[in-house]
Amino acid sequence: MTDDFDDLKAALKAAPAPDADAKARAMALAMKNFDALQGSPQGFGDPARSSEDRPIEAAPLNGVRRMLKFLTSRPALAATTSVAALVIGVAVILPIADLRIGQPVVTTTEKPKPEAPAETANEDQDLRTEVPADPSNVVEKKVEEVASTDDQPLVAPEPVTDAEAAEVTDALEAAPPAVAGGEAVIADLEIDGTFVGGLDEGAVVRERAAVESEAPGLMLALPAPASAPLVELAQPQLPENTEEYANEPVNPVKVTAEEPVSTFSIDVDTASWAVVRSTLNMAMLPSPDQIRIEEMINYFPYAYKTPTEEEAFSSSISVMQTPWNPGTRLVTIGIQGALPDIADRPALNLVFLIDTSGSMEDANKLGLLKQSLTLMLAELRPEDEISVVTYAGSAGLVLPATRAADRTTILQALDNLAAGGSTAGAEGLELAYRVAEGMKSEGEVTRILLATDGDFNVGVSDPDGLESYVAKKRETGTYLSVLGFGRGNLDDAVMQSLAQNGNGTAAYIDTLSEARKVLVDQLTGALFPIADDVKIQVEWNPATVAEYRLIGYETRALKREDFNNDEVDAGEIGAGTQVTAIYEVTAPGSDALLNDPLRYGTATTETTNGELGFLRLRWKAPGADTSTLIETPITGTEEATTETRFAAAIAGFGQLLQGSVYTGDWGWDQAIELALANRGDDPFGYRIETVNLMRLAQSLSAN
């Protein structure tokens, strides 16, 4: 097998010798551009060397002197600054230029084309081979014109340059009639409009306009399509951000008469909240696709009604006026999982599946992970068992099943974890499931905790296969939870789908206190499921609710018929955890209605007694195949509590971050006020932390 590897190497080494002519051409071009850049008029000949030009051996000192001279020369400084500005400008407009290459966009010409000497040649030939270096040429020359006080003769503009200019002029002329002959910058802007669609357009145009205002006269030389990619070379290389997020478009307002039933799966993930927090703490506003409002709401513990002895969980409903819209009401559905007596909890088998690929080498990743697991270890009971599987070059079982009582062995194994090497990812997961299988015994809970920075590598060749593998393994009763660490290439999308398919939660851990929350304070909830496949279905009463909107849960939507289908997977509730879902509903005849009533609408039935809707909940006991149904009417008289008002504040916060259209004039101040007023007990300080984050987001969004 390594034969192939060697073959590939040998074949690659056998690069064809470069063509001598091609080499000569390329070198000539390089020298020409070099001369152009230096503003040297000598052309191809050996330049006359000035007396202060010492041979190259003295380069370091020489360089310093030159640099000093260069720095003190004001025009030169001005020139370099403009070059920098130009490079930025050109880089920004690239997408436009690229599009133009393949697609002659302008087809209808209203005015006769301006005469340009090289125009036809330019059209007929492959642009790339003709003018590879032009932009730098043109740009540099123009800069010289603008900024140089040197009285050196400038290199005369070449025909190609004219052609470029002519082509742009051409495009300007051919732009929509409204702008033909208009002011240059505006015309240019319109041209952009014909090439690009989308949100970035404005920004692109602004950037460009700024460059143009700094360096008038340069505009014509800029959009040279063929040469644009070369200029892009000069673009600073930003560190690659390869994060991927899972999200769906925001739930729209639904008309009850058309779609009275809303169905979704509960979601106990909290990853989105932690990502939002860490993004804000980096002084950046999170992007809309990082925000899943239900995960933000469900991050917080709420004091809902505790379930009775025989219930696995209780549901409570509250109705209140919407903070951001006086014309609508919020219906909050809170579910509280039962907290079985901690002393009675079944023994726990934990398999830590730890990503030790090179990218995990970071105090925020592997370091934090080790600390987190150490914290958690203290909460385990002696009879619980732990094993550690790593996936990386050193893939394999690092720690065979060990009782939690044997702390030293476990701590040592954790300590010895080191990042580095290549990854044999899929095998790691398979091994983890095998190990978990071996640890299992009657009445125990078995869970794999996958810790990764998202450089997932597990089954990277076939992500779908991985999901179905996890889904299949779910049947064996082993749960899979995903802990995300670090930022930069967090693959939120894969984390989400793995946790959802593997009957687990996805949490993102950015600080030790977050690790504490996820692994210690909520140890029981995160690790012991009390209800599987919990689905919520609400049927709204068209007589009392004309429109409704589910806030969040976009990635958790279920089909109406899936509610009764026990084969369809849904979210789990852990011991003692809470899940909250919020609907915004609008009464018929309200000013806040977004849709007009139908003239020939269906006749409303008057059978209900003013109920807003009907809540149905389905859940399975862990490991059970058939579901249980719980039904509760929503009367509209249920009172709001501190808890549901705080949840509403978080929902508002999420929508503000998303730039939602539904919040109207309601802004940061109101969100902060609402959250602050409903802090409640807040024993862990999560809620006050939120208020501070809201203030941070407020200042960030003011910029």
Partner 1 sequence: MLMDTPDEMLATAAAQGDRAAFATLVGRHYDRIHGLAWRLTGVKAEAEDLAQDICAALPSKLQNWRGEARFTTWLYRVVVNAAHDLRRRQQTRARASQGWGDWELARQDEIAVQAEAQDWLAQAMTELSPELRDTVALVLGEEMTQAEAGLVLGLSEGTIAWRMSDVKKRLRAKAREDAK
List the interface residues with partner 1, window 440-479 (CB under 8 A): 455, 457, 460-461
- # chain residues binding partner 1, by CB under 8 A: 83
Q: Which of residues 333-362 bind partner 1 (CB under 8 A)?
A: 357-361
Instruction: For residue 60, give the 3-state DSSP assignment.
Output: helix
Give least dist CB 79 to partner 1, A.
11
Question: 389 to 418, contacts with partner 1 by CB under 8 A?
Answer: 392-393
Does position 37 interact with partner 1 (CB under 8 A)? The reply is: yes
Name the minimum Å distance from CB 57 to partner 1: 7
Q: Which of 421, 438, 463, 633 binds partner 1 (CB under 8 A)?
A: 421
Rounded to a whole number of angstroms, the minimum distance from the CB of residue 154 to partner 1 is: 17
Between 408 and 461, whose beta carbon lies closer to partner 1? 461
Pull the structure tokens for residue 169: 């002029």
Told to check if 420 binds partner 1 by CB under 8 A, we report yes
C-alpha 64: how far from chain center = 45
Please identify, among the stretches 5-13, 245-253, 314-322, 654-662, the one whose residues bind partner 1 according to the rule CB under 8 A.
5-13
Q: Are 357 and 695 in contact (CB under 8 A)?
A: no
> What residues from 205 to 264 belong to the interface with partner 1 (CB under 8 A)?
229-234, 237, 239-240
Least Cβ distance, residue 333 to partner 1 (angstroms): 44
Q: How far is CA 183 from CA 86, 164, 179, 189, 213, in A?
A: 21, 19, 8, 10, 13
DSSP per-residue string spanning 429-463: HHHHHHHHHHH--TT-EEEEEEEE-S---TTTT-H
Does position 130 bind partner 1 by CB under 8 A? no
Nearest to partner 1 of 47, 181 (CB atom)? 47
Per-residue binding letters, 46-85, with partner 1 (x by CB under 8 A): xx-----x-xxx-xx-xx--xx--x---------x--x--
Two tokens at 499?
A: 């946790």
Q: Which position among 11, 178, 199, 603 is part of the footprint of partner 1 (CB under 8 A)?
A: 11
Going residue by residue from 87 to 116, which x/- string records binding to partner 1, judged by CB under 8 A? -----------xx-xxx-------------
Pair of tokens at residue 193: 């409009």
**Among 51, 108, 129, 605, contact with partner 1 (rule: CB under 8 A):** 129
* Burial profile 538-549: b = 16 or more Cβ within 10 angstroms, e = fewer: bbbbbbbbbbbb
180 part of the interface to partner 1, by CB under 8 A: no
Give me the phi and psi of 469, to 5 degrees please: -65, -45
- 134-147 and 159-174 are packed helices; what angle lies between their axes, rounded to 10 degrees? 90
**Is 132 near partner 1 (CB under 8 A)?**
yes
How far is 233 from 223, CA to CA, in rounded Å? 15
At its nearest, how many Å lie between partner 1 and the CB of residue 129? 6
Q: Smaller CB distance to partner 1: residue 21 or 567? A: 21
- What are 435's two structure tokens? 């190990």
Cβ-Cβ contacts under 8 Å for 190 (sequence gap 6 or more)? 175, 176, 178, 179, 182
Interface stretch with partner 1, choices 130-138, 529-537, 561-569, 624-632 (CB under 8 A): 130-138
Q: Please name which of 494, 553, 550, 503 lies closest in space to residue 267, comparing C-alpha atoms.
A: 553
> Is residue 463 exposed (0-12), middle (13-18) or buried (19+ Cβ within 10 Å)?
middle
Task: Name which of 4 and 596 has its Cβ closer to partner 1.
Answer: 4
